[in-house]
Amino acid sequence: EIKLAKRVGTLTPSATLAITAKAKEMKAEGFDVIGLGAGEPDFNTPENILKAAAQSMQEGYTKYTPAGGLPALKKVIAEKLKRDQNLEYKANEIIVTNGAKHSLYTLFQVFLDEGDEVIIPIPYWVSYPEQVKLAGGKPVYIETREEHAFKITAEQLEQAISEKTKALILNSPSNPTGMVYTHEELEALGQVCLKHDILIISDEIYEKLLYGGNQHVSIAGMSQELKQQTIIINGVSKSHSMTGWRIGYAAGDSRIIRAMTDLASHSTSNPTTTSQYAAIAAYSGSQDSVETMRKAFEERLDIIYRKLTAIPGISCLKPQGAFYLFPNVKEAALSTGSSDVDQFVQRLLEEALVAVVPGSGFGSPDNIRLSYATSLDLLEAAIDRIAGFIDKNK
């Protein structure tokens, strides 16, 4: 009899990937499903990046690289951090990994001991709790309220801290809510973390996707002390439409980065070489395509936000970043006779042929997540279908 390790006993597949898989299955069976589950930009990777990757292969750069990434890539990441946030990092304070997801995974593995606590605001990105648990850590959740734009306060953070707290995860702009912490809010949270010597894990993967004139602020940029207290997590997936290339990075304390690099040397050996060359082009080349994509997302957001919030029983804060809407649909769900939002989501897929992600996967069971990383035509059609489904079943 096969017996799996205890540590995977509570492991659940990503809610996002599960709904996407079901939608794909239905599509393959011939159903005209519109998928709003995806967590990736729908644009092609910019041409200059594709060319640089192809060229590197032709030139023979297809072998192992240093475990923590090519020096040339670390250099352009350091330049990017300086350019965007006026932050200075040396090569030994940066590790390149197989996506930002693997930066986080590796970080938890080297940073957490059995029972160490990591504070995770709700709603959270689905992988944080699973990764913390896999490293033997314990997720400690902070509930947020829609009235507070789904953001935690310094008081809430104080209350959640115990002797065992080792880290706080901040994700701004947020997946799934699209909310952004202000300078003042980050400052207040940062002071609490400094006081209790808690590592701040700042997941800034949606940094380039901000709307309504919002600017990105990294908590690491606020003071030298906060920089030392913070590990920045970022990558090219969302900013440069490079999800499949799998390149992310972590920047912070050299001892942590060293341990992560040692672990990478025994697990991945290195991030894919071709992808690293692509990422060098992404960070060193023109950033025009990043802005073009951002603008396209903002246009879609403005149109579909209006359309979505016109549906009775659905309320939604207007996202300030990322490419998701996270409406509260409880009232609408109940009005259709569904027992809860999870069932509503199931019925939306089967009866209205629209795939969205249930908020329960993010710790918020009254909400759903819709990705607007798809064409405006499809988005409008999907929202019409949702509205029609609710109207028909009330």
- Which window, 70-78, 94-102, 192-200, 223-231, contacts ligand PLP (CB under 6 A)? 94-102
3-state DSSP assignment of residue 69: coil
CA dihedral for 358, 246, 166, 262, sign (positive or negative)? positive
255 Cβ neighbours under 8 A, 6+ residues apart: none
- Which window, 95-103, 212-220, 266-274, 357-365, contacts ligand PLP (CB under 6 A)? 95-103
- The answer to whether 230 and 212 have CB atoms below 8 angstroms apart is no
342 Cβ neighbours under 8 A, 6+ residues apart: 358, 360, 365
By C-beta, is 34 or 104 nearer to ligand PLP? 104
Backbone angles phi, psi at 135, to 5 degrees: -90, 5
- Which window, 152-160, 235-243, 303-311, 339-347, contacts ligand PLP (CB under 6 A)? 235-243
Least separation in angstroms between CB 334 and ligand PLP: 29
Measured CA angle at 362 (ends 9, 38), to 5 deg: 100
By C-beta, is 65 or 234 nearer to ligand PLP? 234
Q: What is the end-to-end Cα distance of the chain in Å, rounded?
A: 50
The site string for ligand PLP over 279-318 (x = CB under 6 A, - otherwise) reads ----------------------------------------
- Which window, 96-104, 292-300, 313-321, 364-372, contacts ligand PLP (CB under 6 A)? 96-104
Q: Which of residues 138-177 bind ligand PLP (CB under 6 A)?
A: 171, 175
Amino acid at 143: E
Least separation in angstroms between CB 206 and ligand PLP: 7
Least separation in angstroms between CB 137 and ligand PLP: 17
The site string for ligand PLP over 247-266 (x = CB under 6 A, - otherwise) reads -x------------------
Q: Where are the beta strands (DSSP E) in the chain?
A: 34-35, 94-97, 117-121, 138-142, 165-171, 199-203, 230-235, 248-251, 324-325, 354-355, 357-358, 368-371
Under the binding rule (CB under 6 A), the answer on residue 39 touching ligand PLP is yes
- The answer to whether 234 and 248 have CB atoms below 8 angstroms apart is yes
Under the binding rule (CB under 6 A), the answer on residue 205 touching ligand PLP is yes
By C-beta, is 96 or 352 nearer to ligand PLP? 96
Choice from 56, 106, 237, 289 touching ligand PLP (CB under 6 A): 237
3-state DSSP assignment of residue 84: helix
For 315, which DSSP code?
Answer: B
Least separation in angstroms between CB 3 and ligand PLP: 30
Q: Which of residues 175-194 bind ligand PLP (CB under 6 A)?
A: 175
Contact positions toward ligand PLP, by CB under 6 A?
39, 99-101, 125, 171, 175, 203, 205, 235, 237, 243, 248
